[in-house]
Amino acid sequence: MRIFVKAFKGLSLTGSYLDRVKLTKPDEFDKHILLKFPFVVNAVKDEIRPGFVQLAVQAAVSHPAVVDGYVNRRVLQDWLRNAFQAALKNNTITFFSLYNMEYKSYKLEYVQQGYDCAHTIIAKSELRTIAFDFVPAFAYQYKDWPLEEPPVDIGVREKWPWFAVPKGRAPRDDRTFMVCAPHWERRMMFHKYNLRKCACA
């Protein structure tokens, strides 16, 4: 748990609320859990699988999510699952609602647990249910982009990061991470009136 706290570097919004296409009262949120390890993690192109990268580290690195010089997707998810389970031993949260100026208690349930890609927490009160999907992600700048040049303005590429995420339906090689760039994708869909904006993961 302590190692996870050191690796946690914040959250990044993705999905419908990032794209501002969600029309109903907020009931689900998609978030990237930004991870940063205390050593260099280089994204290198997966030569076999288009759209995937491998996250290479120095061979001497010792970390719960690293196996044989690479961040291992399956082991990473196991490590995060243990951290979530430890954090949610007390499965009730209370917060003050500015909307109706009263305290609300929610019971938390940890579902899905990273076996696909996201770690999902369901928060339930007497009147509402809210889902939070947390997807682990390593953030990179465009200068670290290892794939072919994407069809999006250079200004957008340099302003917004791209991510490597442990997509559960990826090939069997546990070193593979899927490339994801929500802000780039938003720009690519701009003025495409017959298409819905989308963000992978």
Classify residue 26: in a domain, yes or no: yes
Residue-level pLDDT at 114: 87
CATH number, domain containing residue 30: 3.30.460.90
Residue-averaged pLDDT of the chain: 81
Domain count, the chain: 1
Indicate the pTM of the whole model: 0.79
Contact predicate 77/136, CB 8 Å: yes
pLDDT tens across 114-169, in order?
888 899 999 888 888 889 899 999 999 999 999 999 888 899 999 999 999 998 66
Looking at residue 199, its pLDDT comes to 41
Residue 162 resides in a domain: yes
Cβ atoms of residues 94 and 56 within 8 Å: no
pLDDT confidence band for 198 (50 / 70 / 90):
very low
The whole-number pLDDT of residue 88 equals: 83
200 belongs to a structural domain: no
DSSP letters of the chain? -HHHHHHEEEEEEETHHHHT---SS--EEEEEEEE--SS--EEEE-SSSTTEEEEE--TT---TTEETTEE-HHHHHHHHHHHHHHHTSS-EEEEEETTTTEEEEEEEEEESTTSSS-EEEEEE-SS-EEEEEEEEEEEE-GGG--SSPPSS-HHHHHHS-EEEE--TTS-S-TTEEEEE-HHHHHHHHTT-TTS------
> 66: which strand partners?
71
| pLDDT score of 144 | 96
DSSP per residue, 54-81: EEE--TT---TTEETTEE-HHHHHHHHH
Q: State both tokens at 22.
A: 């969600």
Residue 185 structural domain: 2-189
Residue 196 lies in a domain: no
pLDDT digits (tens, 9 = 90+) for 71-110: 999 999 999 999 888 888 777 777 656 556 677 788 888 9
CA distance 164 to 102: 40
